[in-house]
């Protein structure tokens, strides 16, 4: 009925739809990490833990509230509230109590402190949520399915994946771009990202900017986790996988670049789903191959500016 | 301080032998610790240049898999180890030619990416690598002799100890040599190095290849000691562990990695024995405490104590 | 100078001092042992990572049963003490821990491992250290098919019957299926189980078209791309031997997108995930449990004992007792039976390692649902029950109906044969003879 070419063209279309949803989740986590790295110059391994804790909190908060009569339609709002709670509480705590003490240290020590925090939080999650899978898909079921026509047939997609995930990601991207370019605080953040020494020399209160950016990054990580919770069940170890992938995005994107993070997430999301259709064996390799390829051509990442070398 | 280090190294070696004698199962743990110490010496070289590799588990796993694949056809430990080391160095040269152009986060992340590609391949190529089940390594010959398990473990322990001393000594010489000085210059003022006519990339590349030789050797020792090789040896958390040990031990001297590795393995074993549910958090707390309060690591503590005495 | 070196020595020993027993060398195991003050069991299980969804319930079951056994006077009058070790950090760590258990803790027996990789690493150690090792949960067929292990025994079934039973059920339940897709975790069990399935399927029903072989990364949390592809392909049957959180995610995403209305799913390791899935599990799909220990087993050997176990576990841990709990119970039941047999054979004396191992070979022991016999190669024969997912008012999650019981001897590869070779010799019609409805 359909030739090879048409059929694979149609399959490619389906792969694009799948890739978008995945790219949206990757973007949400990676953009927070990238923002924090751009400003604080700390590569935060515990970002993965914040993602996991955000996801767990969203799922259990949703279950807790719906057992007490929370209407169905509110389940989407619960995701956002949980992320704000986790990021808003843990973010400032980590920045004030821990990171603040090590800004003067070498980058490798800063990174290892967050690695240590990651190890502690991994066990803490097990203590709080146990090891059995936690799940709450109320938000996904709320919106139902959307049928996409395909070769005389139809393929049901969840509206949550097709619209909510990409929608939130695009809104985050646009909102962030507006915030960073149009507001005073945003411009200060950009200034610190581009040239920390010059910015502080001009009298910018770096301490406040650090706290703000880290908290914001933590909220984004938790939101990424919260958004993933309706479609995934949560088990110990989700943070470790998320963080390696986010690292790849940050290095590929260029430091502190939000558009770079968006483009990289899109490339990773699309190539991953195309791989599932046409070359399943290569699926796990795609993010790393993309990163190596990009850095071969652009050593500072997609959007990174070449840094002036110190003399 | 150099004399202190030599005395400590000899004293420490004697202590390890004593411990291995008293507790047979510790001999196993200590052999692994020595192997990891050798790998961490390589990390130390790169740290001198201000570069952190988050992918050196690649060479550990590569060395281990070389042993696993070659052991059935040439079951001689003293051939397997140098072969694994050289092949790992050859891989390191190829990868190094690429990554030595990059600095800081890009250097770290590229190493991470390449190690994750290798890790994924080990898992994916199930028909060759047996996937996550891993490959079992039989007891190979040692110097042509067929040894009982117990004697073979002693032989591996002694080999690891001698290699650790020899490589530690070599690293100390290397760091004091012009090449080692140039390495430190990459960290502080790389451009000046080039004004002086020294190619920074070449300096870093040679240190990188040395570190991969050590990584491959360490992987071979681990494979011959645990005698079961799985892809997990190449996962990014193992790379993180190596950097962890480097900082724990202190990057100031060649003895640091061994102080760090022995402490790390012992803490891990005792934490796992006492708190099977929370050993990871305990390791995390130890690491955090060391960085916050003794950022020069265990070796830094030894140094300041020695200074106080002097 | 001397202080600094002694300090470093102290720091090295710091850990050792906290637990003096760790420094003691293992006792001479070959000598005629006196009755010990306690019977120590080293248990390796996942306490961290995704497989802790099995490991932690099994640990809890071990603690509960230990209390019960000790309250009843222990084994041969000796109280038992489990010592748990985490499999999570990987094989390299685990083989060190195995040595510590035997050489330093002086355990009398080791219960080894959930993961096949762990078992493959620990079993040769049991040969070398001459320590009786009960493989209490891992399923790889490679253990006893690729070597002799005089001190290792598996007290439950393994991959071959656990895959063959659902296949036979499928052949009987839906004999006309023509196409199949597989979506398994990308690691040893996922790969091996598909190889076993395909060997058996091609032998008993040649010509089935395999439309997709998907092996998503181990520990994936998102299967939407794979599901889209399966929706487009419309296979008659989808096999997945996935487990734990991944199976939960797969079923939720698949049922939400109505994949399970288009294709019949076969889920051989479903049981442990049913409580998590609750009502999200669609009815009418083929589910297995790596054994016969379903909570709604219609005619267990000892109904009172099964109910007592499941009720006590539920009461103490507020969770249903999923299959790893039963596998742990089987291992402990086998240990009791083996010690009783060895002590009786020695006229009341306490058995040494060889005598204990000898007692395991050919041992028959009770489980709440049946009896299990350990073959001469060390493999246990555990019956399999497969059924269709269904709901009743008794449980808030899916349990099987239209159950078929497959006696283990008929669906396990005979001693000395490799599973894949044996599966290739099977012929159509076996689905009518191998099992019976219960």
The answer, yes or no, to whether residue B231 has pLDDT greater than 80, is: yes
Q: How many percent of chain C have pLDDT more than 70?
A: 93
pLDDT, greater one: B216 or A250: B216
Residue linked to tokens 């509110």: A74
pLDDT tens column, C355-371: 999 999 999 999 999 99
CB of B105 within 8 Å of a chain A CB? The answer is: yes
Closest residue to A235, CB basis, from C50, C213, C258: C50
Please give the full DSSP string across C176-229, using - where no structure is assigned.
T--EEEEE--SSHHHHHHHHHHHHHHHHHSTT-EEEEEE-PPTT-S--HHHHHH
Angle at B175 between CA B173 and CA B176, to 5 degrees: 65
CA angle C323, C328, C329 (to 5 degrees): 95
Contacts of C97 in chain B (CB under 8 A): 269, 272
> Quick one: tokens of C204?
């008993």
Neighbouring chains of C at 3+ CB pairs within 8 Å?
A: A, B
In chain A, the N- to C-terminal Cα span, in Å, equals: 67
Backbone dihedral angles phi then psi of residue A148, each to the nearest 5 degrees: -105, 125
| Domain C35-157+305-374 of CATH type 3.40.50.2300 | yes
Which segment of A132-136, B79-83, C28-32, C238-242 scores lowest on mean pLDDT? Answer: C28-32
Q: Hey, of C86, C210, C221, C272, which one would you mutate to test binding to chain A, going by the most A CBs within 10 A of its CB?
A: C221
Torsion of CA C296, C299, C300, C305, to 10 degrees: 80
Task: Report how far residue C164's alpha carbon sits from residue A131's, in angstroms, rounded to the nearest whole number.
Answer: 30
| Residue whose C-alpha is closest to residue C333's, from C124, C35, C127, C111 | C111
**B228/chain A closest Cα distance in angstroms:** 24
B39, two tokens: 């790998």
Mean pLDDT, chain C, rounded, equals 89
Reduce the DSSP state of residue B306 to 3 states and report it: helix
Of the candidates C211, C160, C215, C162, which has an alpha carbon nearest to the alpha carbon of residue C185? C215
Question: Do the chains contact at C257 and A158, CB–CB below 8 Å?
Answer: yes
Q: B27, B131, B279: best mutation site toward chain C, by most C Cβ within 10 Å?
A: B131
- Delimit the domains of chain C by residue range: 35-157+305-374, 160-289+382-437
CB pairs under 8 A between A and B: 119
| Interface contacts B/C by beta carbons within 8 Å | 156
- Packing angle, helices A4-40 and A47-67, rounded to 10: 110
C313 within 8 A of C275, measured Cβ to Cβ:
no
| Domain A17-144+166-297 sits in CATH 1.10.3470 | yes
C-chain CB neighbours of A21 within 8 Å are 224
ipTM surpassing 0.95, yes or no? no
Least confident piece of the model among A147-156, C18-27, C386-395, C409-418? C18-27
The reported pLDDT for the residue numbered C4 is 37
- B246, B281, B286: best to mutate for the A interface, most A CBs within 10 A: B281
CA distance A14 to chain C (A): 7
The tokens describing C98, both together, are: 């195995």
The token pair at A306 is 């070449």
Return per-residue pLDDT of chain A as tens, 311 residues: 455 566 677 778 888 888 998 899 999 999 999 999 888 888 899 999 999 999 999 999 998 988 888 887 888 899 999 999 999 999 999 999 999 888 888 888 888 899 899 999 988 998 898 877 788 888 888 888 888 888 778 889 989 989 999 999 999 999 999 998 889 888 888 888 777 777 777 777 888 889 999 999 999 999 999 999 988 878 888 888 788 888 888 888 887 788 889 999 999 999 988 888 877 778 888 888 888 888 888 877 787 765 543 33
Query: Which tokens is B74 given?
Result: 């040439």
Given a cut of 50, whether residue C23 has pLDDT beyond it is no
pLDDT-wise least confident of B80-89, B119-128, C404-413: B119-128
**Nearest CB to A113: which of B105, B121, B288?**
B288
Mean pLDDT of C4-14: 38
**By the 8 A CB rule, do B41 and B214 touch?**
yes
| Per CATH, domain C160-289+382-437 is 3.40.50.300 | no
pLDDT tens, B39-93? 999 999 999 888 889 899 999 999 999 999 999 988 888 999 999 999 999 999 9
Q: Is C130 on the interface with B (CB under 8 A)?
A: no
Distance CA C97, CA C83 (A): 11
How confident is the model at residue C81, as a pLDDT?
Answer: 96
Say how far apart CA A108 and CA B242 lie, in whole Å: 12
pLDDT at res. C55: 93
Contact C22 B7 (CB under 8 A): no
Judge whether C35-157+305-374 and C160-289+382-437 match in fold: yes
């Amino acid at each position: 009925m359909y030739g090879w070419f048409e059929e694979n063209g149609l399959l490619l279309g389906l792969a694009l739809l799948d890739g978008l949803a995945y790219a949206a989740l990757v973007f949400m986590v990676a953009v927070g990490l990238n923002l924090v790295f751009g400003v604080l110059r700390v590569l935060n391994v515990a970002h993965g833990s914040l993602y996991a804790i955000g996801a767990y909190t969203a799922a259990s908060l949703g279950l807790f509230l719906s057992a007490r009569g929370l209407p169905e339609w509110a389940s989407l709002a619960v995701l956002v509230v949980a992320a704000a709670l986790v990021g808003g509480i843990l973010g400032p705590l980590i920045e004030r109590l821990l990171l603040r003490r090590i800004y003067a240290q070498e980058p490798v020590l800063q990174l290892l402190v967050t690695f240590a925090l990651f190890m502690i939080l991994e066990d803490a999650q097990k203590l709080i949520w146990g090891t059995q899978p936690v799940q709450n898909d109320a938000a996904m079921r709320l919106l139902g399915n959307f049928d996409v026509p395909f070769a005389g047939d139809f393929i049901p997609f969840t509206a949550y994946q097709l619209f909510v995930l990409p929608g939130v990601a695009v809104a985050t991207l646009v909102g962030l771009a507006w915030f960073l370019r149009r507001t005073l605080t945003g411009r200060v953040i950009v200034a610190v990202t581009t040239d920390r020494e010059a910015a502080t020399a001009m009298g910018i209160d770096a301490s406040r900017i650090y706290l703000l950016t880290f908290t914001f990054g933590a909220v984004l990580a938790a939101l990424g986790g919260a958004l993933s919770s309706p479609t995934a069940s949560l088990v110990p170890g989700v943070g470790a996988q998320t963080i390696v992938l986010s690292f790849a995005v940050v290095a590929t994107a260029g430091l502190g670049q939000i558009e770079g993070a968006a483009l990289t997430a899109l490339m990773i999301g699309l190539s991953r789903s195309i791989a599932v259709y046409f070359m399943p064996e290569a699926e796990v390799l795609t993010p790393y191959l993309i990163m190596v390829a990009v850095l071969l051509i652009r050593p500072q990442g997609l959007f990174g500016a070449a840094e002036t070398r110190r003399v | 301080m150099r004399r202190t280090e030599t005395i400590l190294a000899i004293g420490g070696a004697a202590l390890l032998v004593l411990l291995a004698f008293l507790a047979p199962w510790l001999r196993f743990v200590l052999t692994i610790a020595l192997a990891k110490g050798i790998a961490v010496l390589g990390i130390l070289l790169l740290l001198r240049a201000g570069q952190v590799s988050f992918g050196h588990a690649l060479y550990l796993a590569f060395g281990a898999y070389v042993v696993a694949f070659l052991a059935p056809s040439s079951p001689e430990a003293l051939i397997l180890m140098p072969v694994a080391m050289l092949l790992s160095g050859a891989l390191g040269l190829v990868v190094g030619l690429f990554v030595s152009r990059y600095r800081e986060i890009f250097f770290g992340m590229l190493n991470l990416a390449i190690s994750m590609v290798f890790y994924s391949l080990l898992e994916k190529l199930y028909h060759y690598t047996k996937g996550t089940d891993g490959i079992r390594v039989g007891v190979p010959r040692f110097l042509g002799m067929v040894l009982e398990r117990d004697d073979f473990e002693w032989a591996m322990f002694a080999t690891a100890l001698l290699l650790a001393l020899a490589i530690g000594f070599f690293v100390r010489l290397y760091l004091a040599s012009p090449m080692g000085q140039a390495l430190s210059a990459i960290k502080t003022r790389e451009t000046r190095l080039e004004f002086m006519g020294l190619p920074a990339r070449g300096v870093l590349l040679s240190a990188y290849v040395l570190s991969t030789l050590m990584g491959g050797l360490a992987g071979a020792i681990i494979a011959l000691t645990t005698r079961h090789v799985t892809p997990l040896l190449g996962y990014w958390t193992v790379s993180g562990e190596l950097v962890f040990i480097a900082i724990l031990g202190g990057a100031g001297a060649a003895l640091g990695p061994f102080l760090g590795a022995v402490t790390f393995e012992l803490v891990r074993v005792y934490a796992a024995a006492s708190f099977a549910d929370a050993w990871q958090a305990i390791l995390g707390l130890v690491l955090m405490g060391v960085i916050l309060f003794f950022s020069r690591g265990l070796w830094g503590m030894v140094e300041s104590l020695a200074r106080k005495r002097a | 100078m001397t202080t600094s070196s002694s300090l470093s020595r102290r720091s090295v020993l710091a850990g050792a001092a906290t637990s003096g027993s760790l420094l003691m060398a293992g006792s001479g195991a070959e000598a005629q042992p006196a009755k010990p003050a306690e019977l120590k069991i080293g248990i390796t299980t996942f306490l961290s990572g995704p497989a802790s969804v099995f490991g932690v319930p099994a640990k809890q079951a071990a603690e509960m049963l230990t209390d019960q056994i000790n309250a009843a006077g222990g084994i041969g009058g000796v109280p038992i003490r489990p010592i748990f070790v985490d499999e999570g950090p990987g094989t390299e760590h685990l083989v060190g821990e195995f040595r510590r258990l035997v050489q330093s803790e002086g355990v009398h027996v080791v219960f080894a491992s959930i993961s096949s990789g762990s078992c493959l690493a620990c079993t040769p150690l049991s040969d070398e250290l001459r320590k009786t090792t009960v493989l209490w949960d891992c399923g790889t067929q490679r253990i006893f098919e690729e070597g002799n292990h005089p001190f290792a025994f598996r007290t439950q079934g393994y991959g071959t019957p656990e895959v063959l039973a659902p296949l036979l059920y499928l052949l009987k339940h839906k004999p006309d299926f023509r196409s199949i897709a597989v979506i398994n975790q990308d690691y040893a069990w996922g790969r091996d189980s598909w190889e076993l399935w395909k060997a058996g399927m091609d032998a008993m029903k040649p010509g089935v078209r395999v439309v997709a072989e998907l092996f998503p990364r181990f520990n994936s949390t998102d299967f939407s791309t794979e599901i889209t592809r399966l929706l487009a392909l419309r296979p008659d049957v989808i096999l997945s031997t996935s487990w734990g959180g991944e199976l939960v995610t797969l079923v939720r995403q698949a049922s939400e997108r109505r994949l399970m209305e288009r294709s019949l799913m076969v889920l051989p390791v479903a049981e442990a995930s049913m409580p998590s899935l609750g009502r999200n599990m669609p009815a009418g799909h083929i589910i297995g449990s790596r054994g016969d220990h379903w909570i709604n087993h219609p005619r267990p050997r000892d109904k009172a004992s099964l109910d007592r176990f499941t009720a006590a576990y539920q009461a103490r841990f507020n969770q249903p007792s999923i299959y790893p709990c039963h596998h742990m119970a089987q291992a402990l039941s086998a240990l009791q039976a083996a010690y009783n047999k060895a002590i009786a054979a020695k006229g009341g004396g306490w058995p040494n390692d060889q005598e204990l191992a000898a007692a395991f070979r050919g041992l028959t022991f009770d489980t709440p649902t049946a009896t299990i016999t350990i073959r001469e190669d060390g493999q246990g024969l555990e019956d399999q029950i497969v059924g269709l997912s269904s709901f009743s008012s008794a449980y808030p999650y899916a349990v099987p109906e239209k159950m078929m019981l497959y006696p283990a001897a008929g669906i396990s590869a005979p001693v000395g044969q490799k599973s894949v070779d044996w599966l290739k010799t099977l012929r159509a019609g076996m689905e009518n003879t191998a099992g019976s409805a219960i």
